[in-house]
Amino acid sequence: MRVAYKYEKHFYFWKTTLKPDFYLPEYKVVIEFWGIMNSEKYRDKMVFKKELYDKHWLRCIDIFAEMFRDPKKKQIDMVKTKKYLTEVLWKLRKN
The 10 Å Cβ neighbour count of residue 29 is 20
Q: How many Å apart are CA 6 and CA 22, to the nearest integer? A: 6
Full-model pTM:
0.78
- What confidence tens digit (pLDDT) does each residue in 21-63 have? 999 998 889 999 888 778 899 889 999 999 999 998 889 998 8
> DSSP for 7-58?
ET--EEETTEEE--SEEETTTTEEEEEE--TT-HHHHHHHHHHHHHHHHTT-
Number of helices (H), then strands (E), in the chain: 2, 8
Residue 35's pLDDT is: 81
Alpha-carbon distances of 30 from 38, 53, 63, 74, 93, rounded to whole Å: 23, 8, 11, 26, 15
Q: Are 6 and 20 in contact (CB under 8 A)?
A: no
